[in-house]
Amino acid sequence: MSKTSRKKWDYHDIAQWGPGRHELGATIPVSGTADDYDTGGWRSERPLRDREKCNDCMICFFACPDSSVIVEDGKMATIDLKHCKGCGICAQVCPRDAIELKNEIIARKLEEE
């Protein structure tokens, strides 16, 4: 679904909403919109993979709740940092301790070096 066709919530009378309307705040009106938002900005820690330790077992791919482990040709290619939220599940499940979570600011500096 494109951004233009996505249903918009009607907030015009939000000041008058009573308890009966609050459940709307927890409603996801349409599915499959994750690609429209760069949710990686929420991240405070970034997963960094040690290529030497990784054997491309793909366990992190199946465990990632944000589909942020990118696979190419049957191998773990990279992590989609536009959507990865830094939850650390990939690091927890990795049987080879190949993923380490680093403070986001420190990780960016390391990347620049």
Least distance to ligand SF4, CB of residue 28, Å: 18
Burial 10-47 (b: 16+ CB within 10 A, else e): eeeeeeeeeeeeeeeeeeeeeeeeeeeeeebeebebbb
Q: Is 107 in the site for ligand SF4 (CB under 6 A)?
A: no
Q: Indicate the residue among 99 and 107 with the shorter CB distance to ligand SF4.
A: 99
Site string for ligand SF4, 54-83 (x = CB under 6 A): xxxxxxx---x-x-xx------x--x----
Query: Which run of H or of E encompasses 46?
Result: strand 45-49
Q: In the chain, helix, strand, coil percent, each to 5?
A: 35, 15, 50
CB of 7 to ligand SF4, least distance (A): 26
Stretch that binds ligand SF4, among 1-9, 11-19, 24-32, 53-61 (CB under 6 A): 53-61
